């Protein structure tokens, strides 16, 4: 029998096989299509200049360290808007200043990305802290409260030890807590204010990071909150600006020191952000009314707008970034 001559019965079998294969393939495709998740609904574009409240803001002031609940308008930390996708599943994070502001936004985002989170804060900030702890637990994640004053070296060491014990380890450290007090003149900055600012912003970062390093494994990350004032200092924040420049320098130097250990160190440099730091002495009361209006976007940032940056720097997606400073300044330059 030649190659062109096929037995009729064989032709029927082959044809049946071909049809069966085609049907099976189509059925498999249909099953795959039905099993595939529905495409997300298109998200409307949002104008960043009008996405959040713009100045002028109500005249307001608080006693330091300030509370979120007393701010008008109330800051957005992503309580309703941040959606997680498992990017930090199983991770264990310690965030200083995690009760409010940028630290609060990072804590919420980390929990929604699957991480267990410990937050450090002052006892006066307990109302804010309890809100954050409830949000973390609502995601089914472990929430650890670690109140205390990071101006004390012994407490900083205990803070890390307690975080490691209660979380069962540590692989993300966010040095975020800060003290900021406006002073019109150098003559108005007392030695006590200078000491408090340096200890809160710089000494605590040294103490906490030093205590944490022995617990960090390859793949762990350290994220330090610096500021736009590190390279563009305003005249009324001399001591605060100096500490933020120190944080930037510390970040870049430490990144080189621990790179061979597989630990990454990066910084975030926010511009004007709407947090309790501002009405509790961080800005003159009169200036707070127009806070953020001098940025190209015409408004201050909201903590929720930085959550994604802190998630990115903690995740393996940024594995080739270390010793970098990531800016979010509303358009006023960058690091």
- Identify the domain containing residue 271 by its residue range: 68-328
Total structural domains within the chain: 1
- Is residue 6 one of the residues assigned to a domain? no
pLDDT range class, residue 38, cuts 50, 70, 90: low
Average pLDDT over residues 175-197: 98
Percent of the chain at pLDDT exceeding 70? 88
Is residue 284 helix, strand or coil? coil
Q: What is the pLDDT of residue 158?
A: 98
Residues 225-239: tens digit of each pLDDT = 999 999 999 999 999
Q: Where are the beta strands (DSSP E) in 56-180?
A: 92-96, 116-121, 143-147, 172-175
In contact, 211 and 160? CB cutoff 8 Å: yes
Residues 6-35: tens digit of each pLDDT = 443 433 333 443 444 443 443 444 444 445
Residues 158-172: tens digit of each pLDDT = 999 999 999 999 999
- Is residue 150 one of the residues assigned to a domain? yes
How many CB atoms sit inside 10 A of residue 184's CB?
A: 10
Q: Is 110 a catalytic residue?
A: no
In contact, 313 and 326? CB cutoff 8 Å: yes
Spatial CA neighbour of 172 closest among 77, 270, 88: 88
Instruction: Report how far residue 277's alpha carbon sits from residue 283's, in angstroms, rounded to the nearest whole number.
Output: 8
Which residue in 52, 110, 240, 310 is the catalytic one? 240
- Is residue 177 one of the residues assigned to a domain? yes
Average pLDDT over residues 137-154: 98
The CATH number of the domain holding residue 243 is 3.40.50.720
Q: What is the pLDDT of residue 43?
A: 84
- Is residue 305 one of the residues assigned to a domain? yes
- Is residue 118 one of the residues assigned to a domain? yes
């Amino acid at each position: 029998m030649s190659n062109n001559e096929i037995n009729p019965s064989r032709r029927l079998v082959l044809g049946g096989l071909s049809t069966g294969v085609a049907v099976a393939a189509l059925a498999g495709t249909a099953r795959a299509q039905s099993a595939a998740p529905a495409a997300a609904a298109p998200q409307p574009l949002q104008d960043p200049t009008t996405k959040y409240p713009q100045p002028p803001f109500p005249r307001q002031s608080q006693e330091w360290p300030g509370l979120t609940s007393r701010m008008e308008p109330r800051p957005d930390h992503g309580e309703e808007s941040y959606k997680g996708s498992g990017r930090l599943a199983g991770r264990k994070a310690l965030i200083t200043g995690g009760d409010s502001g940028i630290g609060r936004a990072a804590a919420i985002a980390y929990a929604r990305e699957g991480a267990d989170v410990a937050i450090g804060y002052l006892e006066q900030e307990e109302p804010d802290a309890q809100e954050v702890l409830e949000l973390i637990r609502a995601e089914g994640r472990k929430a650890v409260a670690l109140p205390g004053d990071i101006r004390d070296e012994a407490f900083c060491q205990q803070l890390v030890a307690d975080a490691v014990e209660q979380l069962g380890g540590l692989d993300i450290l966010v040095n975020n807590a800060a003290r900021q007090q406006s002073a019109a003149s150098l003559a108005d900055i007392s030695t006590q204010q200078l000491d408090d600012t340096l200890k809160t912003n710089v000494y605590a970062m040294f103490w906490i990071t030093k205590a944490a390093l022995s617990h960090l494994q390859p793949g762990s990350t350290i994220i330090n909150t610096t500021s736009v004032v590190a390279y563009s200092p305003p005249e009324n924040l001399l001591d605060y600006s100096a500490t933020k420049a120190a944080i930037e320098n510390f970040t870049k130097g430490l990144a080189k020191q621990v790179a061979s250990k597989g630990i990454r160190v990066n910084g975030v440099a926010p511009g004007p952000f709407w947090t309790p730091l501002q009405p509790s002495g961080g800005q003159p009361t009169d200036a707070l009314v127009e806070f953020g209006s001098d940025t190209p976007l015409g408004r201050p940032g909201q903590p929720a707008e930085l959550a994604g940056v802190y998630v990115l720097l903690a995740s393996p997606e940024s594995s080739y970034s270390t010793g970098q400073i990531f800016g979010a300044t509303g358009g006023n330059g960058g690091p």
